[in-house]
Structure 1
Amino acid sequence: MQRHLLASLLALLLLVGLPPQPVQAAMDYAKQVLIGADFSNREMQGVTFNLTNLREADLSGSDLQGASLYGAKLQDANLTGANLRDATLDSAVLDGTNLTDAVLEDAFAFNTRFINVTITGADFTNVPFRGDALKTLCAAADGTNPVTGRETRDTLGCS
């Protein structure tokens, strides 16, 4: 009897003494309409925004490392200073999107549409682009990224 009580007491002390472990599940906003949503300055690593309408959304200053924005509609969205390292932007529509000072290093954006985007200070190191998208981006490229210290034109490989 004492042994059972002692074992139960020990188990209870172990449970009470251990800090609770946070749940690390990534948020999933796939296929939602989030026009004008405010996701600014948030920790959103690995979040899913696949096929989501984020027109005029504010994602500025957010950590979106490893996020999936496949096919997302990002017209007139604000991604100023966002961390988009290793993010998937394939088939996304960026029209009038602000990418000022964003870091897109190692992101995947091969079939992404870039129209009238602001990319001053953005870092596109190791991002694969179609030729037409690269031409459009090089025409708008200027500035230095404040986080990485890299010139936008250099990260795109513009001549």
Structure 2
Amino acid sequence: MILSKFKRRLFNILVVITLASIAVLLDARVAIAQESAVNYTYSEIREQDFSHKNLVGGVFAAADARGSNFEGSDVSNSILTKGIFIKTNLKDANFTSSLMDRVSFENSDLTNAIFRDAVATSTIFEGATITGADFTDAILDRYQIYQMCKRAEGTNPVTGVETRYSLGCRD
């Protein structure tokens, strides 16, 4: 009986040590991931070249990226709230699951961009080229959807989804 209690305590101690070790390792991995994420909050990054970059989890909150080039970049799971992306090249960029509340994409090139599961409330797409863009399950303002449906065309080459279908446009 005493030996059984000792084994149980030893087992419990080993479990606690193992769980603590795993927690430390996971925390270290999260810290490393955070260190590698870009943070351009309130930055002036006009006419910069971010093409074909891994910007996953990046923060571009209130950043002024007018005229910049994000062609082919992975900007998924990022925060772009209040960002200014006017006349920006966003061709083939991936914004899956990004938060882009109150962003201006006016007159930008969003050809074949992916906005799946993104939140883009109060975001402006006026004059933007959206040919082949995929907005599947994105949260967009009805007025923006209405405006984009007037010019929506093409099929996204990565997802295979038609732009009109992803926006829920009526034929």
Per the normalisation by structure 1, the TM-score is: 0.85
Q: Partner letter of residue 158 of structure 2?
A: V
Over the residues paired in the alignment, what is the CA RMSD in angstroms? 1.2
Displacement, 1:69? 0.6
Displacement, 1:138? 0.6
Question: Quick one: which of 81, 85, 92 aligns to 1:70?
Answer: 81
- Whole-Å separation in 2 of the counterparts to 1:27 and 1:64: 10
Q: Partner letter of residue 32 of structure 2?
A: V
Question: Quick one: which of 97, 100, 117 aligns to 2:108?
Answer: 97
Gaps of 5+ in 1: 1-20
Question: Quick one: which of 53, 56, 59 aligns to 1:45?
Answer: 56
Displacement, 1:55? 0.2
Gaps of 5+ in 2: 1-28
Q: Partner letter of residue 56 of structure 1?
A: G
Largest Rg, 1 or 2: 2
Asked if 1:130 is matched to 2:141, the reply is: yes
Report matched runs for 1:1-159 at 5 Å.
23-25=32-34, 26-159=37-170
The percentage of counterpart residues that share the same residue type is: 35
Displacement, 1:23? 2.7
**Alignment deviations for residues 9-44 of structure 1 (CA, whole Å, 9 cap, x no partner):** xxxxxxxxxxxx893221110001111010000011
**Structure 1 SS opposite 2:147:** helix
- Whole-Å separation in 2 of the counterparts to 1:68 and 1:129: 16
Q: Partner letter of residue 76 of structure 1?
A: K
- Whole-Å separation in 2 of the counterparts to 1:85 and 1:128: 12
- Whole-Å separation in 1 of the counterparts to 2:108 and 2:84: 10
**Structure 2 SS opposite 1:112:** coil
Q: Partner letter of residue 71 of structure 1?
A: K
Higher helix share: 2
Per the normalisation by structure 2, the TM-score is: 0.79
- Whole-Å separation in 2 of the counterparts to 1:66 and 1:131: 23
**Structure 2 SS opposite 1:140:** coil
Displacement, 1:133? 0.7
